[in-house]
Amino acid sequence: MRNKLLVLGLFVSALAFGQTDSSVANHVWAKVGYKTKLSKQVSLTASGQYRAKYSDQDHDQWLTNFDFKKELSKKWDLGLELRHYFIFDNQGGNQGTFQRFRTQINAQRHIQLPLGELHFRYAVQQRWIISGSGSNKFVARLRGEYDLPIKNFKWDPTFQAELLNGSFTESDQSLRLGIGTSNKIGGIKLQFGYFYQRDLYTTNLYRNVLQMGVRF
């Protein structure tokens, strides 16, 4: 089982990043963070993430995140996320470093199963343009995750599906499908993952994203 999952992950990554079609946007996201407890039920995770693109559809980005989480019970969490973007645009006539700011409010439901655990996250977010082109944007998100425990294996996989709906319109919807894993080594949490994102109403555009992270 473990070997099959590792082979599947390598195959999917190689297949995804081997595509050179102009409608494909390939990314690598690298993240470093620090989590601390503010109280018994409230935690704060501060992180920075660099998003490197390997296609002409997007731009490199640096994200700074402050993620507050309150544990209401074993079944429910509430979250508030504050995010600042630096976007490095080196294409076209209007080049430079531009900025965005985003807030997100989310609620997460945890369901224990006989084998594994389900998580459902409901989120709404608002993005504002600080500088550069673009427009302010509201997005509603619904994400489902399944944690699969594997006996005598520390890198248990998590399978994920998420629907993103911009401004509640059918013309601005996208779907993410992904797999990831994490493990604590010496008190440091290591994370790796991949997701595929398809714009549901722009049939010729999709993204492949490899993710890696370290959290202290």
For the chain, helix, strand, coil in percent to 5 are 5, 65, 30
Identify which has the larger pLDDT, 125 or 94: 125
The residue to which tokens 């993005």 are assigned: 127
- Write the CATH number for 150: 2.40.160
3-state secondary structure of 5: helix
Q: In this predicted model, what pLDDT tens digit does every residue of 109-121 receive, in sequence order?
A: 999 999 999 999 9
Strand 24-37 to 206-215 pairing: parallel
User: What is the C-alpha separation between 162 and 175, in angstroms, rounded?
Assistant: 6
Domain count, the chain: 1
Residue 59 has what DSSP assignment? -
Q: How far apart are CA 106 and CA 111, in angstroms?
A: 17
Q: Which domain holds residue 95?
A: 2-215
Whether the pLDDT of residue 188 is over 80: the answer is yes
pTM comes to 0.84
Let me know the angle formed at the C-alpha of 55 by 50 and 56, rounded to the nearest 5 degrees. Answer: 105
